[in-house]
Amino acid sequence: MKIGLAILALCAASADAFGVPSTRAFATRSAAMRTSLAMSTAEKTEEKAEKKEDDDDKGDEKKKVEGKKAGDEAPPVNIGWNSHKPVEEVPKTLVREGDGPDGNYPMRAKFEKMCREAQISITKAISDIDGGATFQEDCWVRANGGGGMSRVMSDGKVFEKAGVNLSVVYGSMPQEALQAATERGVDRSKGMAPGERVPFFACGLSSVMHPRNPFCPTMHFNYRYFETDGGVWWFGGGTDITPSYINEDDMKHFHGTYKKICDKHDPDYHKEFKAWADRYFVIQHRNETRGFGGIFFDDQNDRDPDTIFEFSKECLNSVVDAYGPIVEKHKNDEFTQKQKEWQLMRRGRYVEFNLVYDRGTVFGLKTGGRIESILMSLPETARWEYDHQVEEGSPEAEFLKVCQQPRDWV
């Protein structure tokens, strides 16, 4: 249509140029101008409509992404490593209904109660196994709510160091830090405005046990519950074992204990969570796992929270059953200086993983956690030898093969 109008206008212009006066030329030109004007008006109307539609879409999009903003009362991103205040009397609870973002207060209280009870029962069982040292307890609180209790044993007969930490945290995290803290790309900042820090509640119980004897494995567990101000909640946790030498029966007992629990709650759990542990506990710069794994899970919110709570509770309450008999079995085994040195080198690998890759350590440091509690997981002694090579065919070499190619023990 526009091309045809242009041709008509061109013809009329040519007639005038050659001195051919014609009413038709004027009529054609006027018609062309009216048509062009009508089309121009229609196009402009259409453009305005499209622009309004775009603006509406942008407005809707803006409303969608606006999200919630952290309130003035929300704690800063780093609440300060020295913001904790030691207290002599342990408070009845560290979870108070008015603290932190709105959320599932009954679950917060229930999870903390579970952690406290497990801390008491586990430390008693480990003290009984050690037969010498006892756990020292420290308690602290924070002005903005929350706090924690650490129970640490050192210089025991069986355990060089063992600790069980309870923590309740009300803090804020940058969205990118929350995103980096998950393996599966779960949107933990959902509901919050882009770039806005995310106020959160977290409660967890974590532990590491470092025995003296090289034939007694190190053991670690962590069970936790999170909520954010945007309405996101999830459970995470796991128990894993880090020996220095292979013992088939020990590994079958440890992994078998958790397979029974997993199978009871969901037939797919053990396969999924065992593989997750093998992926998670990797020292990437060594291309080997920290130990022989166990179970590990995170971002669990795909079913009723009480259902996941019961699974976490049974896993936590089975720590002593899974680990205690192994330590009892080997705590008096004879060992050589070479075997002790190998154990210390494996502890060195443990330190590397915890300081470089462990999400709990990174999370604690980024949120201004209590340093003594965060670094409680580190052993008192470790060893690094320059370019150490194991002898081919040795027990140490066989151990490394499992760290490079994780096995299914049950």
> Are 227 and 102 contacting, i.e. CB atoms less than 8 angstroms apart?
no
Burial grade of 224 (CB within 10 A; 0-12, 13-18, 19 or more): buried
Distance CA 326, CA 195 (A): 48
- Cα Rg for the chain, rounded, in angstroms? 33
Burial grade of 373 (CB within 10 A; 0-12, 13-18, 19 or more): buried
Alpha helices by DSSP H, listed for 234-318, are 248-265, 269-280, 305-316
Alpha carbon 146 to chain centroid, angstroms: 20
Tell me if residue 220 is catalytic. Answer: yes
Dihedral angle of Cα 388, 394, 399, 403, to the nearest 10 degrees: 50
Give the amino acid at 361. T
Distance CA 351, CA 346 (A): 9
Positive or negative: CA dihedral 386, 390, 396, 401: positive
Count Cα neighbours of 195 within 13 Å in the Cβ-side half-sphere: 1
> Are 95 and 168 contacting, i.e. CB atoms less than 8 angstroms apart?
yes
154 forms bridges with which residues in the sheet?
161
Query: Among 84, 210, 220, 330, which one carries the catalytic annotation?
Result: 220
Q: Which residues are annotated as catalytic?
A: 220
